[in-house]
């Protein structure tokens, strides 16, 4: 394929598997929290590649790390000892409850490793009866067959033949519904401390504490899926730090690479010991380019300036979104934590989140949705104040347009 080959949205329909339905405009360049399309139209980016671009686009720390590592060594099989992977693992263990790290290439793969580890741990520590995995309705854990089955939307896992078994779903933020199902045969409970895809729904503090207690009572592992909430997104390196609950296994991806694919599973030495040589693995997991970039991202993100800055930016978003709502009356609430925020549409606009997304794009703004009823914002953690202001002005115009179209 020559470099000059013209690319249009129509080419997607010609050559791609139709499992996505991407935007009409085609972004080709990004700097910080601004993005330009093929026609040099500029957008403010409040989507951040779905909570991935935590330092915006082409942050110098990331470009430098990638360039430097790219001139040294790109790939090492996991039969080799790997400097960037061990450096990153050391920093992750120093910064969290965890003592051991497994590297993957995505959130789904990190979760797949977590679930397999939990099953193996239960088998070896407690015997074959302890298999049950409990997760939550509307939870999202990725698209491999195991993780999508553990996810709480049957529509995503139906239609692919027999599913992995011994998986139960209970209601989020409802401890009694977990209590009714958990037993000594439960091997693990997998949960997002704040449901992202499920509508930006924070886990209540007492609920998360209750989940931890029930896991302890029944000797079940608690797995926090922090693929979306992790790496500074909520104002601490990981959201568990604010929840008052420490999980046994934590998974991370998305912002972990800041835009370079990487995933990680973090756990304790005692639990990790059950993934002995040969039990699990990945060709690209721990790739030196990915780990070098991730370490550079972590050096920037895991600082008081950036983490406190997330809280300040959250305030700016909340205040302006409330002001927009006071004027146009479209949201029932603005919820979430840090820079993982959801504006839930009120009854009048329920089911119309996509209209807000499309109107925003028309006004030069990239936002996300979380289901049909929630407009989601996951901007760069270091987005400049003027970009927040400009983006929210554009969002106000988009809201006005949607409201007018239903006048
Ligand atoms: C995005 C996401 C995943 C899946 O990550 P991939 O990198 O797409 O595999 C898993 N869990 C949560 C909570 C997510 O938000």
| Residue whose entry in the numeric block shows the structure tokens 């599973």 | 265
pLDDT of residue 396: 98
Query: Residue 104 Cα, ligand 1 centroid: separation in angstroms?
Result: 12
| Nearest ligand 1 atom, CA 196 | 15
Query: Residue 226 Cα, ligand 1 centroid: separation in angstroms?
Result: 9
| Ligand 1 within 6 A of CB of 112 | no
pLDDT tier, 58 (very low <50, low <70, confident <90, very high otherwise)? very high
Query: Percentage of residues in the chain with pLDDT exceeding 70?
Result: 100
Catalytic residue among 46, 136, 140, 207: 140
pLDDT tier, 43 (very low <50, low <70, confident <90, very high otherwise)? very high
For residues 358-364, give the mean pLDDT.
98
For residues 160-170, give the mean pLDDT.
98
| Ligand 1 within 6 A of CB of 192 | yes
140 given a catalytic annotation: yes
Q: Which of 228, 229, 256, 294 to mutate to test the pocket of ligand 1 (most atoms within 8 A of CB)?
A: 228
**Rounded distance, CA 209 to CA 111, Å?**
22
pLDDT tier, 4 (very low <50, low <70, confident <90, very high otherwise)? confident
pLDDT of residue 1: 52
**Rounded distance, CA 18 to CA 37, Å?**
22
46 given a catalytic annotation: no
Paired tokens of 5: 């080959």
- Phi, psi torsion values for 341, nearest 5 degrees: -120, 145
pLDDT tier, 51 (very low <50, low <70, confident <90, very high otherwise)? very high
pLDDT of residue 117: 98
Is 107 annotated in some ligand binding site? yes
pLDDT of residue 330: 98
pLDDT tier, 407 (very low <50, low <70, confident <90, very high otherwise)? confident
For residues 7-28, give the mean pLDDT.
97
pLDDT tier, 6 (very low <50, low <70, confident <90, very high otherwise)? very high
For residues 100-127, give the mean pLDDT.
98
Query: Percentage of residues in the chain with pLDDT exceeding 90?
Result: 99
| Ligand 1 within 6 A of CB of 106 | yes
Which residue from 68, 59, 151 is spatially nearest to 111, judged by alpha carbons?
A: 151
Min mean pLDDT across 1-15, 41-55, 309-323 is at 1-15
pLDDT at 36 over 80: yes
pLDDT at 142 over 70: yes
Half-sphere exposure in the Cβ direction for 211 (13 Å, CA): 33
Task: Catalogue all structural domains in the chain, each as residue range(s) with its CATH number.
Answer: 9-58+304-405 (3.90.1150.10), 73-301 (3.40.640.10)
Q: What is the mean pLDDT of the chain?
A: 97
pLDDT at 310 over 90: yes
For residues 275-300, give the mean pLDDT.
98
Query: Residue 303 Cα, ligand 1 centroid: separation in angstroms?
Result: 24
| Ligand 1 within 6 A of CB of 355 | no
Query: Residue 253 Cα, ligand 1 centroid: separation in angstroms?
Result: 7
pLDDT tier, 2 (very low <50, low <70, confident <90, very high otherwise)? low
Q: What SS3 string covers the chain?
A: CCCCCCCCHHHHHHHCCCCCCCCCCCEEEEEECEEEECCCCEEEECCHHHHCCCCCECCHHHHHHHHHHHCCCCCCCCCCCCHHHHHHHHHHHHHCCCCEEEEECCHHHHHHHHHHHHHHHHHHHHCCCCCEEEEECCCCCCCCHHHHHHCCCHHHHCCCCCCCCCEEEECCCCHHHHHCCCCCCEEEEEECCEECCCCCEECCHHHHHHHHHHHHHCCCEEEEECCCCCCCCCCCCCCHHHHCCCCCEEEECHHHHCCCCCEEEEECHHHHCCCCCCCCCCCCCCCHHHHHHHHHHHHHHCCHHHHHHHHHHHHHHHHHHHHHHHHHCCEEEEEEECCEEEEEECHHHCCCHHHHHHHHHHCCEECEECCCCEEEECCCCCCCHHHHHHHHHHHHHHHHHHHHHCC
Paired tokens of 322: 């409330």
Per DSSP bridges, beta strands 34-37 and 27-31 are: antiparallel
Min mean pLDDT across 3-12, 71-80, 392-401 is at 3-12
pLDDT at 101 over 60: yes
Is 263 annotated in some ligand binding site? no
Q: Which residues contact 244 (CB under 8 A, 6 or more apart)?
A: 205, 208, 209
| Ligand 1 within 6 A of CB of 368 | no
């Amino acid at each position: 394929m020559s470099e000059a080959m013209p690319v249009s949205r129509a080419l997607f329909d010609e050559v791609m598997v139709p499992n996505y339905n991407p935007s009409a405009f085609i972004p080709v360049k990004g700097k910080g929290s601004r993005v330009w399309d093929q026609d040099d139209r500029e957008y403010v980016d409040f989507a951040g590649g779905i909570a991935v671009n935590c330092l915006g686009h082409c942050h110098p720390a990331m470009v430098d790390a990638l360039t430097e590592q790219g001139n040294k060594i790109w790939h090492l099989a996991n039969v080799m000892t790997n400097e960037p992977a061990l450096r990153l693992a050391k920093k992750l263990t120093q910064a969290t409850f965890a003592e051991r790290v497994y590297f993957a290439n995505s959130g789904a793969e990190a979760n797949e490793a977590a679930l397999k580890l939990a099953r193996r741990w239960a088998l070896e520590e407690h015997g074959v009866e302890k298999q049950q995995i409990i997760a939550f309705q509307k939870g999202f854990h990725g698209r491999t067959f195991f993780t999508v089955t553990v996810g709480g939307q049957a529509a995503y896992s139906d239609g692919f033949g027999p599913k992995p078994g011994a998986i139960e779903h209970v209601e989020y933020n409802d401890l009694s519904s977990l209590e009714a199902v958990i037993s000594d045969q439960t091997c693990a409970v997998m949960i997002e401390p704040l449901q992202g895809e499920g509508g930006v729904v924070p886990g209540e503090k007492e609920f998360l504490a209750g989940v931890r207690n029930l896991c302890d009572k029944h000797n079940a592992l608690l797995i926090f899926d922090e693929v979306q909430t992790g790496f500074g997104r909520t104002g601490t390196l990981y959201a568990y730090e604010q929840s008052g609950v420490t999980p046994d296994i934590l998974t991370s991806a998305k912002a972990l690479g800041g835009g370079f694919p990487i995933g990680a599973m973090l756990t304790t030495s005692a639990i990790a010991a059950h993934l002995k040589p040969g039990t699990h693995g990945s060709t690209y997991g721990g790739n030196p380019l990915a780990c070098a970039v991730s370490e550079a991202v972590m050096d920037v993100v895991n600082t008081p300036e950036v983490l406190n800055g997330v809280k300040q930016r959250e305030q700016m978003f909340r205040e302006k979104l409330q002001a927009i709502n006071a004027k146009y009356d479209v949201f029932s609430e603005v919820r979430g934590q840090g820079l993982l925020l959801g504006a839930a549409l009120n009854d009048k606009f329920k089911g119309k989140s996509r209209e807000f997304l499309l109107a925003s794009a028309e006004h030069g703004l990239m936002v996300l949705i979380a289901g049909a009823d929630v407009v989601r914002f996951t901007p760069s953690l270091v987005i400049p104040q003027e970009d927040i202001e400009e983006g929210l002005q554009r969002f106000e115009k988009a809201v006005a347009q949607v409201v007018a179209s239903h006048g």
